[in-house]
A and B are shown apart, each in its own frame.
Chain A
Amino acid sequence: MKSLVAVHGWAGAVLGLLLYAVIVTGTAAVLQTEIKAWSGGLLGTADPFSRPLNGIVERLTADSPKELHDDIAIRVTPSGHLQAYYHVDEKVGGQRKTRGVMYIVSADGAVISRKQGWGEDIVAADPYAALGRFFVDLHVRLHLPNPWGLILTGILGLAMLLAAVSGILMHRHIFKDIFTLRGRQRMVGLRDLHSVAGTWTLPHAFVLAFTGAYFSFVVSIGAPLLARIAFSGNVSEMVRTLNGPTLVDPSPAAEADLDRIFRDARERSGAQLLQATIENRGRADARVSIRTFPRDGELTATTLIYDGATGVFLRERRTIGTQTSAGGALISLMQPLHYGTFGGWWSRAAWIALGAASAYVTWSGLALWIRRRSEQRVWRAIGRMSAWVGGGLPLAMAAAAVAFFVSLPALQTVYWTRAAFLAAAALALVPALIVRPVEKVPPLLFGATGALLLTLPVLRVTVGGPGWAAALASGQNIVPVLDTLVVVTGVVCIVSAALALRNQHRRAAPGHAAMQPAE
């Protein structure tokens, strides 16, 4: 039992703050598409693939360099526009990269933007999606360079799994105690707060930890290792084996009617289209891959493959492998289970609530561990760091959002979003270092976070963002929903901060019993 407590406690103590950061930013990242649409201020349509696109594709082709005509990726943007990326694949320093021209096209076919260069640089420089992308990058790799950021978040996922398993094993009556909360007056009461929250969110914790570690490790270690061990480093051979052989026939051929393909894909899948990839245009081996949103009542998306020369439907492509398999089915579940975007607003709401609960479990566990060792100076210092991160991270994220809107008219959001995050984090360090007792720090920082959140809807509209009427008229309910969510979250932060400070003041009053030691 002591070993289990040590494993559980030290895993949390060593990695707890980083895990808390990944969980909090991951909770925000559930709404990454919605945040990009809400903050960017651009209004598209509900289904951009539903309008005729042949003419638009021809027009953009004529406007692009000839070397980029062979491969096109068309996808729906968070704001409901279409992004068309004409590109070539190149190997740079041993890494595969794409280079090309990226267009954003509005509902009436007008080109909103045209950018040329390396694909990842174009995406990284998009000022309208900077806020959502910042939160995602912070969650996926803590803004550390690849592959180290991914490896670190993968380790954090494993640590979360370890903590969940050891937590179950060390708490003998974990399910009997599921309603037992004995109040904050005693150390055992603080333990109850941690274990009750942890017990109720156990299934989610397991799923998120496992899928998160999978995503981090498969990209940074798994795929490169598999290529090296099983295919002597030949990535192309690995892809061919996993996805099936592809026809190679460079002889010239006519191009299929894309609108007919898109119509067929919509009917065949029974869902909206998300993305279309056109390869080897104008050749006999041309292929059009259509990825759709999940069908109503299903978890996973569909990928349909068409002959790009004749428009004939060829097959449905599996996530991995050429035949249905248990492993392929499991891999295809990773994304919906981790992202929580499979069921409209309800699944997002559930995943956000569970993410907040997991963040509470992580932080309360760390606070409990530190409180038990508060006689030692080093743990008191760690306690201040914990208060700084616990309250400072949400504050810094809110400050990043404020800076995004302020800098949006000048399209300097990529720089100012990050700068404001770092500045707010540094500013939060001041109360973390000087306020006494340290228990006052998190509520003070949460209160400040709430105040910043309340300014966001006003800022959004002030810098030219659409009003609710305009958003709803274009079929976008994201704007009013997120405005409401931000305001409600801000109010909750302020009210909970005020209550926490009031309770702390009462407990500190003369005659109030001091905290009892753990039993």
Chain B
Amino acid sequence: MSFANVAGPLCAAISAFFVVILAATDRKRRQLRAGASARPLLRGLVWLAVLAPGLALAMLGRWPDFLIWIGVAAVAGWGVAALFSLQKRRGQDR
């Protein structure tokens, strides 16, 4: 058994990069006023970028890598949300 096949985790890392962008610009997380621009089209494109690596794996028929991508990307997304929350609370404490 090996760690050799990295296509799934690599794609998850690409997705996680774009999840970081989404988290950093998330209107609700930043508690912006309702009128503040959230650029929905741009966020839509970033969400597409999050999903694109997985869609590529599915289209290539690499189903084990696709499932690994879903799992690793989901955990990474949760981790990103938690890290941003921690960073915000530390900023408020100072």
Contact = CB atoms under 8 A, between A and B. Distances in A.
Interface of A: 176-181, 183, 196-197, 200-201, 203-204, 294, 296-299, 337, 340, 342-347, 349-351, 353-354, 357, 477-478
A343 B64 contact: yes
B71 interface: yes
Question: What secondary structure prevails in chain B residues at the interface with A?
Answer: helix
10 contacts: A179-B26, A180-B26, A196-B81, A297-B61, A344-B4, A345-B1, A346-B6, A346-B72, A350-B67, A354-B74
A370 B78 CA distance: 24
A340 B68 CA distance: 9
Contacts of A180: 26, 28-29
B47 to A, nearest CB: 10
Contacts, number: 103
A345 B3 contact: yes
Interface of B: 1-6, 8-9, 22-23, 26, 28-29, 61-65, 67-68, 70-72, 74-75, 77-78, 80-82, 84-85, 89
Given A203-B74, A350-B75, A354-B71, A344 B89 contact: no
Nearest to B22: A179
A294 B89 CA distance: 47
Contacts of A299: 63-64, 67
A468 B70 CA distance: 32
Nearest to B78: A200
A204 B67 CA distance: 10
Nearest to A183: B89
A204 B74 contact: yes
A449 to B, nearest CB: 21
Contacts of A350: 8, 67-68, 70-72, 75
Contacts of B28: 176-177, 179-180
A364 to B, nearest CB: 12
Nearest to B85: A181
A122 to B, nearest CB: 27
Contacts of B67: 299, 337, 342-343, 347, 350
A200 B80 CA distance: 11
Nearest to A345: B3
Nearest to B24: A179
Contact of A346 (B3, B70, B74, B85): B3
Nearest to B77: A200
A400 B2 CA distance: 28
B72 A178 contact: no
A137 B22 CA distance: 42
**Residue among B65, B74, B89 having the largest count of chain A Cβ atoms under 10 Å:** B74
Contacts of A357: 74-75, 78
B75 A203 contact: no
B71 A342 contact: no
B77 to A, nearest CB: 5
B23 A204 contact: no
B71 A200 contact: no
A176 B32 CA distance: 14
Contacts of B89: 183
A144 to B, nearest CB: 30
B31 to A, nearest CB: 9
Given A176-B28, A196-B81, A297-B64, A477 B2 contact: yes
A351 B8 CA distance: 13
**Residue among A181, A201, A203 having the largest count of chain B Cβ atoms under 10 Å:** A181
B75 to A, nearest CB: 4
A477 B80 CA distance: 31
